[in-house]
Amino acid sequence: MIGESTTSEHAAAALQFATNHGLVFTTLTAPDAATGFERFQSMVGETIETPVLVINQVLLKRLCEVCREQIAQQAAGTDRPRGFRAVGCPECDDRYKGRCGVFEAYLYEGDALRRMGRSLADNAARKVAAGITDYEELKRLAP
Ligand SMILES: [Zn+2]
Whether 33 and 87 map to the same domain: the answer is no
> What separation in angstroms does the CA of 80 have from each of 12, 23, 37, 139?
44, 41, 32, 10
Residues 129 and 69 in one domain: yes
C-alpha 65 to ligand 1 mean position (Å): 7
Neighbour count for residue 83 (Cβ, 10 Å): 21
CA 29–ligand 1 middle distance (angstroms): 31
Give pLDDT, residue 62: 96
Phi, psi of 84 (to 5 degrees): -130, 160
Residues 44, 8 share a domain = yes
The pLDDT, as a whole number, for residue 123 is 94
The last residue of a domain, from among 15, 35, 50: 50
Taking the centre of ligand 1 as the mean of its atom positions, its distance from the CA of residue 131, in whole angstroms, is 13
Phi/psi of residue 141, each to 5°? -75, -45
Beta strands in 1-143 (DSSP E): 52-63, 68-70, 84-86, 96-109, 112-116
The domain in which residue 5 lies consists of 1-50
Residue 81, pLDDT score: 61
The answer to whether the CB of 26 falls within 8 A of the CB of 93 is no
Tell me: do 38 and 60 sit in the same domain. no
Do residues 98 and 143 share a domain?
yes
Question: 133 with 86, same domain?
Answer: yes
Q: What is the pLDDT of residue 134?
A: 92
CA of 7 to the centre of ligand 1 (A): 42
Query: What is the CA(132)–ligand 1 centre distance, in A?
Result: 13
Q: Are residues 98 and 122 in the same domain?
A: yes
- Predicted pLDDT of residue 67: 95
- What is the C-alpha separation between 78 and 138, in angstroms, rounded? 15
2 and 27, same domain (yes or no): yes
Give, as residue ranges, everything with CB less than 5 Å from ion ligand 1: 64, 66-67, 89, 91-92
Contact 69, 95 (CB under 8 A): no
Residues 96 and 63 in one domain: yes
* Beta bridge partner(s), residue 137: none
- What pLDDT sits at residue 60? 96
105 touches 97 (CB < 8 A): no
Same domain, 28 and 95: no
Which stretches of the chain drop beneath a pLDDT of 70? Answer: 73-81, 143
Do 123 and 137 fall within a single domain?
yes
Same domain for 29 and 87? Answer: no
Q: What is the pLDDT of residue 103?
A: 95
Q: Total domain count for the chain?
A: 2
pLDDT of residue 79: 62
